[in-house]
């Protein structure tokens, strides 16, 4: 077992692990909140979000950008602690919006493309949101798009296709559109959820296999961290970028109403 430290528990279901400003951040989809905690686990701040799925990233000026998934809204958190409208995503799809990643002045948000839970469909999309709030679909026919990361010095966007067992890559063109869809890494037998880049590869969290795995381009496994609960999201952080924070919870129990909050945030030394 890897060297682990519990930094938060009592979480309904944790997602969107992030490292930003010297703190770990995550969303609790059951409580519909976003939290920031110091590396020792001391909570720094938390606030409510209108609806889940809840994902977030930061604009270049440091402003927090939040996806209120079921509402199909992209929001920013103002200095006054209130949400302001950025873009309406529901016009592109009425199904739940999922993950977000910021790339300079551009923002990519994906959508699973079908009612969940429900029969799986290969109908997920990625939308590009520009600074003026204009949004357009730039990728489609995805099998439950989940975590996203921009790598290769901003030239490649990678998205986890949870129902296809692969990490799919796109070239990012100068206008922000996506081209040259390709399999960045096949991860057969896995259901990649949240992802992050780190140390020459991409880490993905795997709910049913209760692990986080780091793979290189092409699929070579570089490292695997086995845990005791489903793993929903992960992020590399710490002052020396030597810590993997992982959001875990019992699955599928975490989504059942009235069940105990089993979610945890674990810091794993890597």
Kindly tell me the sign of the dihedral angle through the C-alpha atoms of 75, 80, 82, 88: negative
pLDDT in tens, 153-163: 999 999 999 99
Q: What percent of the chain has a predicted confidence (pLDDT) above 90?
A: 84
Q: What percent of the chain has a predicted confidence (pLDDT) above 70?
A: 99
The CA distances from residue 52 to 16, 32, 41, 48, in Å, are 12, 6, 24, 10
Distance CA 237, CA 116 (A): 31
State pTM to two decimals. Answer: 0.95
| pLDDT surpassing 70 at residue 2 | no
Distance CA 219, CA 177 (A): 25
Give the mean pLDDT of the chain.
94
Mean pLDDT over residues 137-148, rounded? 98
In the numeric block, which tokens belong to residue 89?
Answer: 């995503």
pLDDT in tens, 34-64: 999 999 899 888 999 998 899 999 999 999 9
In the numeric block, which tokens belong to residue 170?
Answer: 């796109």
Topology of the domain covering 4-269: Neuraminidase (2.120.10)
DSSP string, 19-45: EETTEEEEEETTTTEEEEE-TTS-EEE
pLDDT in tens, 187-238: 999 999 999 998 889 999 999 999 999 999 999 999 999 999 999 999 999 8
Distance CA 10, CA 187 (A): 31
Q: Long-range contact list for 218-222, CB < 8 A, 24+ apart?
A: 218/185, 219/185, 219/186, 219/187
């Amino acid at each position: 077992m890897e060297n682990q430290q519990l930094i938060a528990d009592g979480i309904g279901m944790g997602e969107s692990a992030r490292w930003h400003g010297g703190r770990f951040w995550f969303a609790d989809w059951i409580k519909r909140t976003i939290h920031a905690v110091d590396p020792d686990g001391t909570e720094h701040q938390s606030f409510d979000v209108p609806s889940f799925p809840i994902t977030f990233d930061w604009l270049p000026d440091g402003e927090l950008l939040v996806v209120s998934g079921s509402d199909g809204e992209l929001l920013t958190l103002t200095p006054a602690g209130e949400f302001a409208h950025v873009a309406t995503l529901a016009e592109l799809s009425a199904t739940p919006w999922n993950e977000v990643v910021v790339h300079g002045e551009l923002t990519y948000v994906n959508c699973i493309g079908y009612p969940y839970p429900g029969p799986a469909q290969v109908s997920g999309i990625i939308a590009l949101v520009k600074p003026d709030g204009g949004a357009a679909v730039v990728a489609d026919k995805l099998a439950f798009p989940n975590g996203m990361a921009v790598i290769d010095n901003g030239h490649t966007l990678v998205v986890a296709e949870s129902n296809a067992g692969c990490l799919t890559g796109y070239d990012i063109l100068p206008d922000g559109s996506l081209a040259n869809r390709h399999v960045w890494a096949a991860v057969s037998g896995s259901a990649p959820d949240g992802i992050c880049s780190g140390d020459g590869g991409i880490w993905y969290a795997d709910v049913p296999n209760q692990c986080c795995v780091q793979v290189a381009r092409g699929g070579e496994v570089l490292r695997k961290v086995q845990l005791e609960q489903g793993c929903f999201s992960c992020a590399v952080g710490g002052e020396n970028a030597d810590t993997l924070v992982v959001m875990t919870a019992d699955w599928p129990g975490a989504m059942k109403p009235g069940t105990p909050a089993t979610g945890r945030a674990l810091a794993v030394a890597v």
